[in-house]
C-alpha cells in the first residue's frame, strides 16, 4: 500500500513496525535489513511532513531522531 493512502493510524503502525524491525536487524548485525527499515522510517516521516506541513508532531519528531 502506498503511504499516501494510509490513515494516520496505519502510518503509526508502520513506523512502530519499522522501528522494531530496525532494532532486530541492528542486534543481529544485518546491516542491509537495517538500511531497509531505516528507509521505511524515512518514508513514513516524509509522509507525515507532507500531510502536516512544518508543524510539530511527536511521532514525526521521533522518526527524525531515530533515522537522522
List, for residues 48-63, the tens digit of each pLDDT value. 888 877 555 556 555 6
Does the pTM exceed 0.75? no
Rounded CA gap, 35 and 52, in Å? 26
List, for residues 10-42, the tens digit of each pLDDT value. 988 888 898 899 889 989 999 999 899 989 888
- pLDDT confidence of residue 28: 92
CA 66 from centroid of its chain's CA atoms: 9
Amino acid at each position: 500500500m502506498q503511504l499516501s493512502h494510509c490513515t494516520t493510524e496505519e502510518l503509526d503502525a508502520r513506523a512502530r513496525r519499522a522501528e522494531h524491525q530496525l532494532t532486530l536487524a541492528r542486534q543481529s548485525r544485518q546491516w542491509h535489513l537495517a538500511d531497509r527499515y531505516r528507509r521505511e522510517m524515512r518514508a513514513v516521516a516524509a509522509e507525515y511532513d507532507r500531510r502536516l506541513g512544518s508543524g510539530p508532531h511527536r511521532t514525526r519528531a521521533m522518526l527524525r531522531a531515530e533515522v537522522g
